[in-house]
Amino acid sequence: MDSSSSSSVVSITREQFNAFHSFDRALFTRIVMCLKGDITQSFQVMSFLIYIERVYIRSNLINDLVSLSDHSINTIIDQVMICLRCLSCEHFPTFLATLGNITASSIPWIRSMTGDKLTLGVIHQKRREIIPEMTKILNTICYPAFEDICVHIEMHKERNMHTFSQSLCGQQETSNHLEAGTSNFHEGQHVRADDRTVFLKFSKGYPISEAEVHAYFTRRFGDIVEAIHMGGVGGKDQAMYASMVLRSATKFTINGKHFWARRFIPSHQIR
């Protein structure tokens, strides 16, 4: 084999990437849509579960979790949240003091699945190892694999707000508002909201506010912004992405902070 072929990089499509992480996507969807989990916490829960699957179980943990009942998944999430609290606390005795009726052994499912290799004490001892691994999983798996799901959730919330608006306002007034606010026409044809949505990804460590995004596009392109949905809040309340109405795939800079914009392609079947 020549050196050129051995060093070639194999690229995969977004559809292939999502298919590979189909069970991760399915579990995340159940947590945030069926169980109404907070999106930020759900990202952290998924990164922790993927971490223990990779390091301690080395089997199809996420696949197995998808088939569990809502009650069982909620129980597991509660235990993971205890682990996340443990990771965020600098001093273990202080963490134990905040548990109240919860004891250091109150993660029975996690202890069972890892053969007692992962206890709260071990989690705290290895926090400087676990946190970077979870961060890597967030950036390489969770954010790219779940971004379209989060956008669907935001769009669903927007549709619900319009429905609620219809129930409060007169039908004619609401109809006029929807025609102006949620419809767009190009060359006499109706353009769906999905076709007018782009995904904006922000650089970690350089938080950009909704006001900055709105001001940037309005200043350069005029009154083109119909709505901005900030999401994927990471450390220090930084939004990791946003969705808004644009039509190009471009790299932009807002106040010296880079982000990338591409047309959002909706997933018509969330796995």
Over residues 84-97, the pLDDT tens digits come to 999 988 888 888 88
Tens digits of residue pLDDT in 112-125: 999 888 999 999 99
**CA-CA distance, 109 to 71, in Å (whole number)?**
13
Answer with the residue of higher pLDDT: 133 or 255: 133
What structural domains does the chain harbor? 13-135 (no CATH), 192-271 (3.30.70.330)
- Measured CA to CA in angstroms, residue 60 lies from 17, 64, 79, 113 at distances of 17, 6, 19, 12
Host H or E run for residue 241: strand 239-244
Residue 184 has what pLDDT?
A: 44
Average pLDDT of the chain is 75
Q: Region 13-25: what's the mean pLDDT?
A: 91
Tens digits of residue pLDDT in 126-143: 999 999 999 999 999 998
Tens digits of residue pLDDT in 173-213: 433 433 334 434 443 345 565 556 777 777 666 778 888 88
Residue 215 has what pLDDT?
A: 79
Residue 160 has what pLDDT?
A: 57
Q: Region 252-270: what's the mean pLDDT?
A: 57
Residue 186 has what pLDDT?
A: 42
Residue 217 has what pLDDT?
A: 77
**CA-CA distance, 237 to 102, in Å (whole number)?**
28
CA dihedral 226, 227, 228, 231 (to 10 degrees): -150
Residue 188 has what pLDDT?
A: 38
What stretches of the chain show up as alpha helix (H) in DSSP? 3-6, 14-20, 22-29, 39-52, 61-66, 70-88, 92-97, 108-113, 120-125, 127-137, 143-168, 171-181, 210-221
Q: Region 67-75: what's the mean pLDDT?
A: 93
**CA-CA distance, 117 to 160, in Å (whole number)?**
45
In this structure, of 31-40, 48-57, 85-94, 149-158, the range with the lowest mean pLDDT score is 149-158
Token pair 């796995």 in the structure block, residue: 271
Q: Region 60-71: what's the mean pLDDT?
A: 92
Residue 254 has what pLDDT?
A: 64
Q: Region 258-270: what's the mean pLDDT?
A: 54
Radius of gyration of the chain (CA): 22
pLDDT category, 218, cuts 50, 70, 90? confident
Q: Kindly report whether the global pTM for this prediction surpasses the value 0.85.
A: no
**CA-CA distance, 39 to 29, in Å (whole number)?**
10
% of the chain at pLDDT higher than 70: 65
